[in-house]
């Protein structure tokens, strides 16, 4: 299945992206696709017609359409956990019924959404209050998918905030909760304990700490705690009354859950109407993914570009570079989405994967990254495919000149990566600066840029709730397509279990209640050091 692509990669090792533009005047449009408010440009890559045809052929060979339709239809495509995968139902605002085991899940989804809206409005309008008055602050306690999605989206949509301030505590490190709670009024804070399983040790430890903080400070945990979970028996046992428990089903994966009750902090911050627009952005991307031909299908093209770069060309990482300060948590969010979904070495049928699994995903917002790690991206020996994203305009009309500079920087980076600078150009630069002879030659070499480095760019008019919804759903479907082509289950995460089990067995040892006998020498010595050095 990969032979033709490997052959195309090896066929002409000297191909230049710039040459592809020279050969095809319509390349920019021919290798860009638009849907809703997004334009995705993958023309600054070495993908040409033959490569694209071979990539698209993969989709047909593995019946991508059939797998996609099975997901949307509620089939149990998460085979290792025997579950459907239906985060798309959470944004199916006016689509038809969605059946799981013959039962339409949409009435339940819409009922829960209505409950979230009612609660959010009550909190926002001060109808729901704490012991000391209207709620001023919301603290979401969760980790992984129960944190990254709402934390990322709340920050991304800051210009739409007109509700209480939202804070996020995820790390079991006491520093995190101490720093967040330190400045808050326990009598006017709402705590949301967000955990799909309601067993995650970090979240439950933080939840108990927050409960003690609230009662010690005169707040009322019986009133000021809410929960988001699939485990209603456990939320009940924790003491959160059913009217403030927002449940969801096991067919919503943690890292795909921001669209439902896990998104409650976002709704509290921006209001139900703006949250609806976010859902509609996701829904618009679903409709596009379900109906567009592969060659015009944005998530498919994004996925195929990633597969070309990682599985075929062998570039080990992928940088996500949003030129948007408010998307500063997006790289971390995509990191979980991609690496927890596709970081697997066993195929769905139990056999070992014969191609590399998903890449390392990392990134920072521009322009900050330019002054930190872009040096390696431009001149390092390895190639890092870059995924740039930028809005045509910002939310600060008085600072429009800032935004123009931001856009110019974003476009300059992808141009520089593609174009590079030849030795002759570098020599001319040095000569123009008055340098001559051996010194010119030596200095010029340091100023050469190989160029021909691939990047994609996603542009949109402005970072609105609708646009954010489109972007998140775009990347979700991209991860799905990659997983289908690799033949893996993108919806389980067994790889996190072993560490959790060992942490549980180490806790009493680190507490000093059990000996480290039986642990390896390194672990035992590290425990010994910790025990000796704490008061």
Q: Which residues bind ligand F6P (CB under 6 A)?
A: 143-146, 195-197, 200, 203, 254-255, 340, 493, 496
Tell me how far apart the alpha carbons of residues 115 and 506 are, in angstroms, rounded to a whole number: 41
Quote the distance between the C-alpha of residue 476 and its chain's center.
Answer: 8
Please identify, using beta-carbon distances, which residue of 68 and 196 lies nearer to ligand F6P. 196
Q: Minimum Å distance from CB 335 to ligand F6P?
A: 12
Distances (CA, A) of 260 to 3, 103, 228, 257: 42, 19, 9, 6
Give the Cα separation of 162 and 302 in Å (integer).
Answer: 34
Which one is catalytic: 371, 401, 532, 533?
Answer: 371
- 396 carries an active-site annotation: no
Tokens of 234: 């456990």
- Of 297, 260, 253, nearest to 278 by C-alpha is 260
Question: How many CA atoms lie within 13 Å of 181's alpha carbon, on the beta-carbon side?
Answer: 25
| Nearest approach, Cβ of residue 194 and ligand F6P (Å) | 7
Q: How far apart are the first and last CA of the chain?
A: 60
Of 257 and 305, CB closest to ligand F6P: 257
> Minimal distance in Å, beta carbon 253 to ligand F6P?
7
Reference 344, options 228, 487, 453, 528; nearest CA is 487
Q: Is 87 considered catalytic here?
A: no
- Does the active-site annotation cover 340? yes
Compare residues 376 and 496 and give the one whose CB is closer to ligand F6P.
496
Cβ at position 147, least distance to ligand F6P in Å? 8
Identify which of 358, 300, 392 has the alpha carbon closest to the alpha carbon of residue 489.
358
CB of 195 to ligand F6P, least distance (A): 3
Identity of the residue, 494 or 529, whose beta carbon is nearer to ligand F6P in the bound complex? 494
Strands (DSSP E) contained in 121-242 are 129-130, 133-134, 137-141, 165-169, 189-194, 225-229
- Measured from the CB atom, the residue of 78 and 493 that comes closer to ligand F6P is 493
Quick one: 118 or 496, whose CB is closer to ligand F6P?
496
Q: How many CA within 13 A on the CB side of residue 149?
A: 28
Q: How far is the CB of 255 from ligand F6P (least distance, A)?
A: 5
Q: Which is nearer to ligand F6P, 149 or 281 (CB)?
A: 149
Residues 34 and 40: their CA atoms lie apart, in Å, by 6
Residue tagged active-site, from 11, 34, 415, 500: 500
Nearer of residues 231 and 389 to ligand F6P, judged by Cβ:
231
Neighbours of 122 (CB within 10 A): 13
**Position of tokens 């672990």?**
523
Quick one: three-class SS letters along 91-150?
A: HCCCCCCCEECCEECHHHHHHHHHHHHHHHHHHHHCCCEECCEECCEEEEECCHHHCHHH
CB of 109 to ligand F6P, least distance (A): 19
**297/282 Cα distance (integer angstroms):** 15
Q: Which of 202, 249, 340, 387 is catalytic?
A: 340
* Shortest reach from residue 493's CB to ligand F6P, in Å: 5
Active site residues: 340, 371, 500
């Amino acid at each position: 299945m990969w032979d033709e692509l490997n052959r195309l990669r090896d066929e002409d090792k000297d191909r230049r992206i710039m040459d592809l533009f020279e050969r095809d005047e319509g390349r920019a449009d021919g290798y860009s696709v638009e849907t809703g408010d997004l334009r995705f440009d993958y023309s600054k890559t070495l993908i040409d017609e033959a490569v694209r045809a071979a990539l698209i052929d993969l989709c047909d060979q593995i019946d991508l359409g059939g797998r996609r339709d099975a997901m949307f239809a509620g089939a149990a495509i998460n085979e290792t956990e025997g579950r459907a995968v239906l985060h798309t139902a959470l944004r199916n605002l006016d689509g038809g019924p969605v059946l799981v085991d013959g039962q339409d899940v949409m009435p339940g989804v819409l009922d829960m959404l209505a409950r979230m809206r009612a609660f959010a409005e009550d909190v926002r309008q001060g109808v729901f209050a704490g012991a000391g008055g209207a709620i001023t602050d919301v603290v979401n306690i969760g980790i992984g998918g129960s944190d990254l999605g709402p934390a990322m989206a709340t920050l991304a949509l800051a210009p739409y905030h007109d509700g209480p301030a939202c804070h996020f505590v995820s790390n079991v490190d006491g520093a995190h909760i101490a720093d967040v709670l330190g400045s808050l009024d326990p009598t006017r804070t709402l705590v949301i304990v967000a955990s799909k399983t309601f067993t995650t040790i970090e979240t439950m430890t933080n939840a108990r700490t927050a409960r003690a903080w609230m009662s010690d400070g005169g707040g009322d945990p019986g009133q000021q705690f809410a929960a988001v979970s699939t485990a209603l028996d456990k939320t009940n046992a924790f003491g959160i009354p059913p009217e403030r428990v927002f449940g969801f089903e096991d067919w919503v994966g943690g890292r795909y859950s921001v669209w439902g009750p896990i998104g409650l902090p976002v709704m509290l911050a921006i209001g139900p109407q703006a949250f609806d627009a976010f859902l509609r952005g996701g829904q618009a991307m679903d409709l596009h993914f379900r109906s567009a031909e592969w060659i015009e299908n944005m998530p498919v093209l994004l996925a195929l570009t990633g597969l070309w770069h990682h599985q075929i060309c062998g570039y080990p990482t992928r940088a996500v570079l949003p030129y948007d300060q408010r998307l500063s948590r997006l790289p971390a969010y995509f990191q979980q989405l991609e690496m927890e979904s596709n970081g697997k070495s066993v195929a769905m049928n139990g056999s070992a994967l014969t191609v590399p699994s998903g890449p390392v995903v990392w990134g920072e917002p521009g322009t900050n990254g330019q002054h930190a790690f872009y040096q390696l991206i431009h001149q390092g020996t390895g190639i890092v495919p870059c995924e740039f994203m930028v809005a045509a305009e910002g939310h600060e009309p008085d600072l429009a000149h800032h935004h123009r500079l931001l856009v110019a920087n974003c476009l300059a980076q992808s141009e520089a990566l593609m174009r590079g600078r030849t030795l002759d150009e570098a020599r001319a630069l040095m000569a123009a600066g008055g340098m001559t002879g051996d010194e010119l030659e030596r200095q010029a070499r340091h100023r050469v840029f190989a160029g021909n480095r691939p990047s994609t760019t996603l542009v949109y008019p402005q970072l609105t709730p609708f646009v954010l919804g489109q972007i998140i759903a775009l990347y979700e479907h991209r991860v799905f397509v990659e997983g289908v082509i690799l033949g893996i289950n993108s919806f389980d995460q067994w790889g996190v279990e072993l560490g959790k089990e060992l942490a549980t067995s180490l806790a009493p040892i680190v507490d000093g209640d059990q000996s480290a006998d039986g642990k390896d020498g390194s672990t035992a010595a590290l425990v010994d050091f910790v025990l000796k050095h704490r008061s």
